[in-house]
Chains A and B, each alone.
Chain A
Amino acid sequence: MSELTYLEAIRDGIREVMKEDERVFLIGEDIGLYGGSFGLTNGLFAEFGAERVRDTPISEAAIIGASAGAAVTGMRPILEIMFSDFTACGMDQLLNQAAKIRYMFGGKAKVPMVLRTASGGGAGFGPHHSQSWEAIFAHIPGLKVVMPSCPYDAKGLLISAVRDNNPVIFLEHKVLYKNKKYAQEVPEGIYTIPLGKAEVKRQGKDLSIVASSYMVQKSLEAAEELSKQGIDCEVVDLRTIRPLDIDTVMASVEKTGKLLCVEEACSFGSFMGEVITQVIEKGFDYLDAPPIRIAGKNCPVPYSYILEQEMIPNVDRIKDGILKVLGKN
């Protein structure tokens, strides 16, 4: 057991599955000797060699397509798309090929691949390096979408994703990567966290906050601050958004009667819109107040620090949301 950052935990998970399964290999831009844009694959090239840690040209479509082709013929690729925004360059290969191969072939093929990519804003990278596209991926039948919020979860979910027999989009939050504030004790060796299982990260009785990825951390901070005012929030970390563990969400809402969804993505057509819809469809009667979202503003992620901070939900906005649902502001 040692204290690892989010990035180190993911790397540790990759190393474990590569040791465990010869079919696993890495493919992506600058992931070899250079170690990846964020340094996540540092050391893996030296450990596993150029055959299994494959640097590619800047060819997102070919990277994703080749991963799908390798997966369907018996390998288990982990591909890195440097920034989630760059998946746009390979969307046909992802949404039309990888995601649909199994269904189109009448269930006679499987496509076990993991697309790892750095998602989210808050790092000053501007409109092409900061987006949160989970709703786009989660909308496509055939894809699974994982959004870990902390190092322990990230490693366990990564291992599960690689062992899964489907294309999995593994959205890593770039602000979490190296932030020591969120470092955690992470067990050595293999352990797994099942895909499609949410976790209650904070127990509470007054209101349910549903979030994923970095927004879980911000929600926990908001909950902690409001606890000083006697407000007791529950925080549900979805961990994977597809499959969606709506049962855990419902159980929490049934307990608290109030729901606040927090997400970094633009609110229009967002994933939390799906969560709220399902809660209303399944348990309208549990709700004592209208559920709301605290989400990204409906614009591209801007560059300038003050603009970016305004675009992305922060602890204060989450606190305001909590008070609003509780009817206290």
Chain B
Amino acid sequence: MKECTVRECTIIKEKLTDLKEYKVADRFKDLKKEQKVEMLKRMFQIRYFEMEVEQFILKGQIYGTCHLYIGEEANAVGAMNAIRKNDWIVSHHRGHGHCIAKEADLKLMMAELIGKGNGYCKGKGGSMHIADMDTYNLGANGIVGGGMGVAVGASLTNKLKKNDGVVIGFIGDASTNNGIFHESLNLASVWDLPLIFYCENNQYGMSTPIIKSTRIKRISDRKASYNVKGVTIDGNNIVDVFNTVSHFAEVCRKGEGPVLIEALTYRQRGHSKHDSQVYRTKDEVEQWKEYDPIVRYREFLIESGIISEDEAKKIEEKAIEDIKAAAAFAEASPYPDLSELETDVYAD
């Protein structure tokens, strides 16, 4: 797999955390082939889901806005495969990938995005609020950093119920300058909560490059303030993501959390539906695309002899089919019944 330390673009010239220092074992190599294939399938699903969403945007069917995860797929898929199905996650506004990686129903997701009544949230949440309690997904969030407190609470539940569940709170680089980041990480640290804050550093908070908003070189350096473990990894390398999250999930389950993982990655598309991307060059985007997480993983699987070129194609084609089916389902679905408007405000 291409090493990312040679990247010339933006600020990613610093060396990553040496995972050997943390004794992060290569658990990926012990996975069954099916799971390795499943991971590629999920990455493709996310990629094609988001590309389909782009089509919906072009057709004017995405009311409001949404935020695409293209280029960041290794993070969601690698992390989710490293935890259990009944481990809670909390996501952020760029959350479609987490939802899919947590095995949400693609049809219900797509229906929600185009505002249909049978979508995940009955059309009441939209892109920024898709949640799925059945897959232990506490939802995307419209407020940067907004889900962090909830993540602390979910991991507190694990502690109070004395189970060995772990929670992943997915956050973005820009959220780490929000007050809730400090309060949440500090509280989680004081209580030794089984919580991984997984920071997808995609280099930009909307238009602001991380280098302009943050003076420390590595967001994971903030671990020192809370006396927690923290690492910086290549977030476009799914094997590293999987191994790192597997390792630190176990650390948390043993009562030695929380953990701050910073994963360097890149959003290949604009911030949201409307973004002329004046803040970065096409060259930069192209350079990062050379480290596209799906291309890298696909090549890795083929080069390692785990799958053939032909198998890879079939996995990709199946993912495209799944997404087309989801889109067709969503388009054919009814809009919400207006009688639903004021329901679900309060629980009985």
Contact = CB atoms under 8 A, between A and B. Distances in A.
Interface of A: 25, 51-52, 54, 56-57, 59, 61-75, 77, 90, 92-93, 96-97, 101-112, 141-142, 144, 165-166
Contacts, number: 149
B149 interface: yes
B230 interface: no
B15 to A, nearest CB: 33
Interface stretch (B32-40, B137-145, B246-254): B137-145
Contact of B122 (A52, A93, A107, A166): A107
Given A62-B180, A74-B157, A96 B142 contact: yes
Contact of A65 (B119, B123, B180, B343): B180
B120 A97 contact: no
Given A62-B187, A69-B149, 18 more contacts: A56-B187, A62-B152, A65-B150, A65-B180, A69-B90, A69-B151, A69-B152, A69-B153, A73-B157, A74-B157, A92-B180, A97-B143, A102-B347, A104-B124, A105-B125, A105-B129, A105-B131, A105-B139
B143 A92 contact: yes
Nearest to A94: B149
Contacts of A25: 160
A103 B138 contact: no
A96 B131 CA distance: 15
Contacts of A97: 141, 143, 146-147, 149-150
Contacts of A54: 191
B8 to A, nearest CB: 38
Closest 8 pairs between A and B when the two form their complex, measured CB to CB: A65-B149, A69-B153, A107-B344, A62-B183, A69-B150, A106-B121, A165-B347, A59-B183
Interface in B172-203: 179-180, 183-184, 186-187, 190-191
B327 interface: no
Given A51-B160, A68-B153, A105 B121 contact: yes
Interface in B111-138: 119-125, 129, 131-133, 138
A72 B186 contact: no
B348 interface: yes
Interface of B: 88, 90, 119-125, 129, 131-133, 138-139, 141-143, 146-157, 160-161, 179-180, 183-184, 186-187, 190-191, 343-348
B345 A103 contact: yes
A104 B129 contact: yes
A102 B344 CA distance: 6
B124 A106 contact: yes
Contacts of B347: 102, 107, 110-112, 165-166
A75 B160 contact: yes
Contacts of B180: 61-62, 65, 92-93
A101 B121 contact: no
Given A59-B183, A74-B157, A66 B149 contact: yes
Contacts of A75: 153, 156-157, 160-161
A43 B210 CA distance: 48
A64 B146 CA distance: 11
25 contacts: A51-B160, A54-B191, A57-B183, A57-B186, A59-B186, A61-B149, A62-B149, A62-B180, A62-B183, A62-B187, A66-B149, A66-B184, A68-B150, A69-B90, A69-B156, A70-B156, A73-B154, A75-B161, A104-B124, A105-B125, A105-B139, A106-B123, A107-B344, A141-B345, A142-B346
